[in-house]
Chains A and B, each alone.
Chain A
Amino acid sequence: GAVVSQHPSRVICKSGTSVKIECRSLDFQATTMFWYRQFPKQSLMLMATSNEGSKATYEQGVEKDKFLINHASLTLSTLTVTSAHPEDSSFYICSAAPGHLTYEQYFGPGTRLTVT
């Protein structure tokens, strides 16, 4: 149980275009989803916390207008990278937490974004 999927697994886009990444909890409802970014040989950096039905909370230094997050249902959150640039190329990972009163969160397999 507790499977989280991401789609697509990898995407290549041209500079200036927008890319949407989906994160789904397959066998549980996720009250909260988290989006991370990971550059090569670096750690995971939290970008934003997404709660179903409310606006996402962004970490300091993360542009909310560039990284649009929508958590429309208890099983789906999307991250849209708008007007992507080569420096946005990274590994984007989501995680999903099943409840308010638990620290447990389950990670997706990640999405490799390459902006050319």
Chain B
Amino acid sequence: GESVGLHLPTLSVQEGDNSIINCAYSNSASDYFIWYKQESGKGPQFIIDIRSNMDKRQGQRVTVLLNKTVKHLSLQIAATQPGDSAVYFCAENSGAGGTSYGKLTFGQGTILTVHP
């Protein structure tokens, strides 16, 4: 089946640096992508999303880039803070209708550690 994967399982940065977390997806039919942050023992927290008709979207300190040509998604975090330390997952939605609508496929996750 289709899957979403990540290039780097861990990322360590210094406080104040910019962080880039990458994700590769394989389902060319996916039309919606989301980045989640998960802290230990908690559920995923929405960070930012992007639809397939866009290639960039910015939020507060975060930017998501989508390259459909190479099926690559990235999350950029500006001025990374210790509170950003968590596991980051990308997820894709490829359901076009019926029982598949809204189903998310999660990538493997990247552990981000921010050192003060």
Residue A67 at the B interface, CB < 8 A? no
Whole-angstrom CA separation of A57 from B49 in the bound complex: 26
Find out whether the CB atom of A44 lies under 8 angstroms from the CB atom of B102: no
Nearest residue, chain A, Cβ from B33: A103
Q: Among the listed stretches B11-19, B36-44, B60-68, B74-82, which one makes contact with chain A, having 4 or more residues with CB under 8 Å of it?
A: B36-44
Contact among B34, B41, B104 for A110, CB-based, below 8 A: B41
What is the predominant secondary structure among interface residues of chain A facing chain B?
strand
* A44-B106 contact, Cβ under 8 Å, with A103-B93, A110-B41, A110-B42: yes
Find out whether the CB atom of A100 lies under 8 angstroms from the CB atom of B104: no
Residues of the A chain whose Cβ atoms lie less than 8 Å from the Cβ of B93: 103
What range describes how many residues of A lie at the interface? 20 to 34
Residues of the A chain whose Cβ atoms lie less than 8 Å from the Cβ of B43: 4, 6, 93, 95, 107-110
Residues of the A chain whose Cβ atoms lie less than 8 Å from the Cβ of B44: 44, 93, 107
Whole-angstrom CA separation of A49 from B32 in the bound complex: 18
Whole-angstrom CA separation of A103 from B46 in the bound complex: 12
A residues 85-116 in Cβ contact with B at 8 Å: 91, 93, 95, 97, 100, 102-103, 105-110, 112
Q: Shortest beta-carbon distance, A59 to chain B, in Å? A: 9
Residue A32 at the B interface, CB < 8 A? yes
Find out whether the CB atom of A43 lies under 8 angstroms from the CB atom of B109: yes
* A32-B108 contact, Cβ under 8 Å, with A93-B43, A103-B93: no
Residue B53 at the A interface, CB < 8 A? no
The 10 closest A-B pairs by CB, nearest first: A107-B43, A43-B106, A44-B106, A107-B44, A110-B43, A109-B43, A103-B32, A57-B99, A43-B108, A97-B102
